[in-house]
Amino acid sequence: MPILEKLAQPSQARHWTDSIPLEFHYTAGVAGEEFRRELRDNGRFLVSKCSKCKSTYIPARMYCPSCFIEMKDQFPIDKRGYVYSFTSVNRDRSGADTELPVTVGLVKFEGVKGGIVHLLDVDDPDGVSIGMKVTPSLKNASERTGAITDILAFKPVSTGPSKMTAEVERAERWEVGAGENQARSLLHSIEESGYPIEEDEMTISTLRNKIGKGELLTREEDGLLHRLGDKAREWRKAVKSSSETEPTDTLSG
Ligand SMILES: [Zn+2]
């Protein structure tokens, strides 16, 4: 019975139980296959480099998406990457709650375009940060099959801050502190200047709020504050010069 034909009688409905033999092969493509082979045999990540624009891509691919030319130059890279973005998942594919949150991230590699989306091996998703250095943990060579699951997860590289990082952090904190003080004094001088802030009242109150709470200003807000500071300085100068001017000078007629 053709499938579009409507059944007039329920007794016309029939069904068969059988199976349809379907077979398929998934191919990862020429370069994709080389990437997988390198991962399986040597536990390394293969990248492709474009001879024209000099861009490097992970995973290895055949054509440069910018120049549309074949990329013949392929080589393995240092596997240490960094977290570009990440999310934490609390449900599995069937919608059931997972026992623990599963953290997934896009891992990128310095100077390489593209990246690998994979599990992040962390106990607490709050411990993950953008830019965090990670290194892959792979299955044993004998168990690897050339699948992306040959990578078990990416795990953070040593957690203890090095002397260098500690120093950089101290310097950054100092800079933040200095920026905060500068913002505070700039805001103060704007308010003291008597500059008519009516039209900028909304902006000023947002800035006042943030500065009051000790929050960092965005680059745009910082620029705005400086522009207002300049206006206020101009205003003060104008007020000063007009008060120094003899009243007779400004009288008309
Ligand atoms: Zn290119």
Q: What are phi and psi of 32, to 5 degrees?
A: -60, -40
Distance (angstroms) between ligand 1 centre and the Cα of 80 equals: 24
Q: Give the integer Cα–Cα distance in Å for 81 and 131.
A: 9
**pLDDT number for residue 246:** 46
Residues 134 and 88 sit within 8 Å (Cβ to Cβ):
no
**pLDDT number for residue 109:** 95
Give me the tens of pLDDT residue by residue for the chain, a chain 253 residues long: 556 777 788 877 777 788 888 888 888 899 999 999 999 999 999 999 999 999 999 999 999 999 999 999 999 998 799 999 999 999 988 999 998 889 999 999 999 999 999 999 998 888 899 999 999 999 999 999 999 999 999 999 975 544 444 444 444 444 445 566 777 778 777 777 776 666 566 677 777 777 777 777 777 788 888 888 888 787 777 776 665 554 444 444 3
Distance (angstroms) between ligand 1 centre and the Cα of 51 equals: 7
**pLDDT number for residue 214:** 73
Residues 208 and 187 sit within 8 Å (Cβ to Cβ):
yes
Distance (angstroms) between ligand 1 centre and the Cα of 116 equals: 20
**pLDDT number for residue 247:** 47
Distance (angstroms) between ligand 1 centre and the Cα of 111 equals: 14
**pLDDT number for residue 40:** 96
Torsion sign over Cα 40, 41, 46, 51: negative
Distance (angstroms) between ligand 1 centre and the Cα of 71 equals: 8
Distance (angstroms) between ligand 1 centre and the Cα of 149 equals: 29
Residues 25 and 135 sit within 8 Å (Cβ to Cβ):
no
- Given the structure tokens 């997860």, which residue do they identify? 153
H/E run at residue 139: none
Torsion sign over Cα 124, 125, 126, 128: positive
Distance (angstroms) between ligand 1 centre and the Cα of 119 equals: 30
Distance (angstroms) between ligand 1 centre and the Cα of 153 equals: 30
Torsion sign over Cα 63, 68, 72, 77: negative
Instruction: Give the residue ranges of DSSP H helices in the chain.
Output: 29-42, 163-192, 201-212, 219-244, 247-250
CB crowding 33-57: b at 16 or more within 10 Å, else e: ebbbebbbeebbbbbbbbeeeebbb
Distance (angstroms) between ligand 1 centre and the Cα of 68 equals: 7
**pLDDT number for residue 21:** 87
Residues 114 and 69 sit within 8 Å (Cβ to Cβ):
no
Q: What is the pTM of this model?
A: 0.55
Structure tokens at 110: 């310095």
Residues 182 and 149 sit within 8 Å (Cβ to Cβ):
no
Query: Cβ atoms within 10 A of the Cβ of 75, count?
Result: 13
Helices (H) and strands (E) in the chain, counts: 5, 9
Distance (angstroms) between ligand 1 centre and the Cα of 133 equals: 27
**pLDDT number for residue 107:** 96
